[in-house]
Every structure is written in C-alpha cells, then in structure tokens.
Amino acid sequence: MSTNLQVLRKRIFEELVKIVDPEINVSIIELQLIDNVQIDNGDINVDLHLTSPFCPAVFGFKIAQDIKNNLGKIEGVKKVRVNVSNHFMAEAINKQVNEN
C-alpha cells in the first residue's frame, strides 16, 4: 500500500470514529458498524450495517449522511458512496444519501 493511500485510509478512519449513533451516542467504529472501506483513486465506498435491522430509519439516514459528509471533506477524496445493508429501509437510505 502506497504512503498516500495509507495516509488517506488513516484520515478516513479518523473521520469515521467521530461519527456516533445518534440514539446511543457511541462511535460507529466502537460499535463495529463499518463492514468495509474501499478506496479507489479518490473514490470511497463504505459498507455498513446498523445496530439492528429495525432501528429507526432516521438514525440510519443520519449515520449514512454523516459518513458521506465527513469523508467528502477529506483532501484527495473525489466521491463517497455509502452502502447500508441489513436494514428494512436500506434501499431508501442508500438512494437518498448517494443521489444527493
């Protein structure tokens, strides 16, 4: 892994640790909600699951939007795509976050 990629990956996780589940105020990293982070030439794909398949959709949307917003501010990031899985509103959350 190149030094630039290592630095970018470190910055991504520094931002992810700041994002909290709004219902319980605990970091999504501490809750182990991030399933995968892919970096491809400035395009970032983040796969995550929520605390339960039926947690309030508004909280899922907030987490996904926070990921997109926080990572989008990092120098060198061109595009952020968030993929929520294993949630009853995953398709709607993904569409709303990624199309705006």
For residue 85, the cross-strand partners are 49
pTM, two decimals, is 0.94
Note down the domain range covering 24. 3-98
The count of structural domains within the chain is 1
Centre a 10 Å sphere on the Cβ of residue 89 and count the other Cβ atoms it contains: 18
Q: Residue 9, SS3?
A: helix
Q: Can you give the pLDDT at residue 1?
A: 64
Q: How far apart are the C-alpha atoms of 67 and 81, rounded to whole Å?
A: 9
| Residue 39's CATH number | 3.30.300.130
Q: Can you give the pLDDT at residue 88?
A: 97
**pLDDT tens series, the chain, 100 aa:** 678 889 999 999 999 999 999 999 999 999 999 999 999 999 999 999 999 999 999 999 999 999 999 999 999 999 999 999 999 999 999 999 999 6
